[in-house]
Amino acid sequence: TEMLQNMKSRGLKQVELFLSDGVVGMKTALARTYPKAHFQRCLVHVMHNICAKVRVDDREKIMNEFKQIHQQTSKKEAAAVLHKFYARWNKAYSHVIKGLKEIEPDLLVFYNYPKQIRASIYSTNMIESFNNVIKRKAKPKAEFPTEQSLDAFIGIQAMSYNDRYFNRIHKGFGQVQDTLESYFD
């Protein structure tokens, strides 16, 4: 909540889509701070969580079936695949299926957006990539003398990343720029 309120106080007026892993309380905090924002659960994180809860012998089969969810052409088709997944695996993994049903409203939100950008918004891969850049550059430092020096280091890395990719338009976003702009007040 504090992070979101801080972003709002610094001028972020509207959020259309918030993509997150399973951080407890994130959806509630988002609803309080940005009530019009949609919330998408990262499907890659969901898959990792499923893998951790199923037998090793079943993992490949389960993952191949679950991946079909984000490869459909419509939300209706994806929901059908998801429900077929539930039916197929509920007997063996009822605890997994129960958990998926609890977060189902957050699994297919990306289908509400143009198909050109769906591959970019069903997972946090872009964010994870940036986090890996920070980790890789911070590793040789071993430790930072103060919290302020760590903040400065991360800020410099973020500005450098932004400078490097400032004019880059992520795959598909250029094709639907007008549509995306229409979502905002």
Provide the pLDDT confidence category of residue 78 given band limits of 50, 70 and 90.
Answer: very high
pLDDT at 166 over 80: no
pLDDT for position 143: 81
Q: What whole-number distance in Å separates Cα of residue 121 and Cα of residue 39?
A: 11
Q: What does the pLDDT look like over 16-50, one tens digit per residue?
A: 999 998 888 899 999 999 999 999 999 999 999 99
Among residues 121, 144, 165, which one ends one of the domains? Answer: 121
- Number of domains the chain contains: 2
Residues 166, 133: one domain? yes
More confident residue, 144 or 46: 46
Residue 130's identity, in one-letter code, is F
Among residues 98, 121, 144, which one ends one of the domains? Answer: 121
As a whole number, mean pLDDT of residues 3-12 equals 93
Residues 32, 55: one domain? yes
Burial tier of 181 (Cβ tally within 10 Å: 0-12, 13-18, 19+): exposed
pLDDT for position 8: 94
As a whole number, mean pLDDT of residues 160-176 equals 81
Residues 152, 134: one domain? yes
Provide the pLDDT confidence category of residue 132 given band limits of 50, 70 and 90.
Answer: confident
DSSP H or E segment with residue 50 = helix 43-53
Domain span holding position 28: 2-121
Residues 152, 110: one domain? no
Residues 6, 80: one domain? yes
Tell whether the torsion through CA atoms of 29, 44, 181 and 130 is positive or negative.
positive
More confident residue, 104 or 184: 104
Residues 170, 111: one domain? no
pLDDT for position 142: 72
CA angle (110, 124, 155) in 5-degree steps? 130
Q: What are phi and psi of 114, to 5 degrees?
A: -55, 145
pLDDT for position 41: 95
Q: What whole-number distance in Å separates Cα of residue 150 and Cα of residue 176?
A: 37
Residues 153, 136: one domain? yes
Q: What whole-number distance in Å separates Cα of residue 181 and Cα of residue 109?
A: 18
Under 8 Å between Cβ of 29 and 20:
no
Q: What does the pLDDT look like over 92-124, one tens digit per residue?
A: 999 999 999 999 999 999 999 999 999 888 988
Residues 101, 88: one domain? yes
